[in-house]
Amino acid sequence: MPSLTDHEFQIQDWTVNPRTQLLTGQNSETRLKPLPMALLVYMVQRPGQLIEKSALAEDVWGQEFISDQVISVAVHQIRKALNDDAKRPQFIKTIPRRGLMWIGDSPTEEASPQHTESPPRNWRTGLLLTLVVMLLFGYLAYTSRPNLTSEPSGSSADEENEAWREYSKWAYYVPNTPEGYREAVGQLDILTERFTHFAPIHVTLARLHLDMTLYGLVDRLEGYFLTRQHLEAAEAKGAEPSDVSLLKGNIALFYEWDFALARHHFREAREQEIQISPLWVGPIQFAAMQGDFAEAESLLEQARQLAPNAAGWDLHHFYLAFFRLDVDVAMERLERAKREMDERTQLWGEYPLWRERDDDSHLTRIERRLMELQGATKSELLSYDQASNKRDRLVVFTDCLLGNASNNYGQRDPVLDATYYAYAGNEDAMYTSLEKALATRQLRTLFIGLFPAFSSYRNQPRFQHILNEIGLPAGPS
């Protein structure tokens, strides 16, 4: 089939013009963005074929990696233009975990006009001059477009205000769920095409991709690529210097495990004009990882004073006490932070604290509820209820969690597995999981010196060896 990139063609009742990016039906007309149009053209030329994500990344986006969210947004825009129902598709079928398939009719090209006598030379010359003038005006319009990172004036001020308004809908209140992250990233990706010079969108997308990698929603390599991609875009579009330094520090810390470089960028950010953002969590966590809780508390308090109404401060105050296993302070801070946690997070926050207090009634309550949230069967719950002592209940509890083990995003997490094995007292299995996490450089491996589940193992030579391989101290004493 010849390329349709430069030709108008038909899809059933729709006329598609890739040059003008128009998709025209009987009663509607939609102008697609360049990438959705490129995706549409690519798919219709391969009817009935499974198109894998890697092919889309390379052939349509021209990149080695592309996130599922970006593809989903492009597909959603095409479906919306074609009135295609994702549940009962007529055009685009999604093959879960594999790719896409065009199931609509094959395209038919519009008939080309018949060859006519060549126009006179002077007409061709006039046409050429017209095209030159159009290109010149196009260039001037492009080079004089408003820059949203500069001081606004006139209509550019309205555009910047609109950019901030649309951006704020998705930047600050992302639900801590897979769907919440995917929707926020998808919507912010759309805004990058609409507000092409608005740097804060790229800063937030870089942070969200880092969070998604940390929680296991995307794999490490894809997360690294996307975080760096948005860092470079943010820097090119004039992002705040402190945001750029913080992003570089977070990338060096979490993806590259280059702690000297992370320290340099975090120090650089503090020496610049401070712009408080969620990225400040990086330096706070880094100080805690190094066992310097006084520095972590100081950084957190500075950030809170500069942005007292921002969300999340109570949660971070809780975690600093939680990592130290300062039970009384952690319990007090947990009460204030609960409104920022889902039920599972609250329960895991409480669990090590009640273990420290050896409070069997609270441990029983938490273990049983976590089993329910983890999808325990009736038989597993019955076995737990019938266990005669704390040790037997713990065995049933950890067996259930390991049997249904995945993180909140449906992925197997070796650090999470190691946590369950640690509570069960299964050292060999715990170390096998930790060594797997180390070998694959899972981002959460950086926190093992802080997690209370490993507190009784921190002084063991095998645990010390893992921390030495990472390059971090043993954590709080």
Given a cut of 60, is residue 375 above it in pLDDT? Answer: yes
The count of structural domains within the chain is 3
Same-domain pairing of 412 and 306: no
Q: Is residue 135 situated within a structural domain?
A: no
User: Which pLDDT tens digit goes with each residue over 59-78?
Assistant: 887 766 665 656 776 787 78
Same-domain pairing of 327 and 387: no
Q: Is residue 151 situated within a structural domain?
A: no
How does residue 434 score in pLDDT terms, banded at 50, 70 and 90? very high
How does residue 147 score in pLDDT terms, banded at 50, 70 and 90? very low
Contact 473, 291 (CB under 8 A): yes
Q: Which residue has the higher pLDDT, 118 or 17?
A: 17
Same-domain pairing of 54 and 105: yes
Which of the given ranges, 77-81, 109-113, 132-136, 274-278, has the highest pLDDT on average? 77-81
What distance, in Å, lies between the first and last C-alpha atoms of the chain? 68
Contact 77, 42 (CB under 8 A): no
State mean pLDDT over 71-88. 81
Same-domain pairing of 265 and 330: yes
Contact 103, 89 (CB under 8 A): yes
| Cα torsion angle, 74, 80, 86, 89, sign | negative
Q: What pTM, to 2 d.p., does this model score?
A: 0.64
DSSP of 417-441: HHHHHHHHT-HHHHHHHHHHHHHTT
Same-domain pairing of 176 and 290: yes
Q: Is residue 200 situated within a structural domain?
A: yes
Given a cut of 80, is residue 213 above it in pLDDT? Answer: yes
Same-domain pairing of 224 and 296: yes
Contact 4, 44 (CB under 8 A): yes
Of 286, 302, 336, which marks where a domain is finished? 336
How does residue 452 score in pLDDT terms, banded at 50, 70 and 90? very high
Same-domain pairing of 380 and 328: no
Q: Is residue 171 situated within a structural domain?
A: yes
Q: Which residue has the higher pLDDT, 270 or 392?
A: 392
State mean pLDDT over 348-373. 93
Same-domain pairing of 58 and 196: no
Amino acid at 87: K
Domain containing residue 219? 160-336
Q: Is residue 295 situated within a structural domain?
A: yes
Contact 351, 363 (CB under 8 A): yes
Q: What is the distance, to the nearest Å, from the Cα of residue 139 to the centroid of all Cα atoms in its chain?
A: 36
Q: Which residue has the higher pLDDT, 7 or 129?
A: 7
Same-domain pairing of 165 and 312: yes
Closest residue by Cα to residue 57 from 42, 79, 77: 42
Q: Is residue 208 situated within a structural domain?
A: yes
Same-domain pairing of 224 and 101: no
Same-domain pairing of 388 and 454: yes
Q: Is residue 155 situated within a structural domain?
A: no
How does residue 433 score in pLDDT terms, banded at 50, 70 and 90? very high
CATH of the domain at 64: 1.10.10.10
CATH of the domain at 298: 1.25.40.10
Same-domain pairing of 292 and 374: no
Q: Is residue 149 situated within a structural domain?
A: no
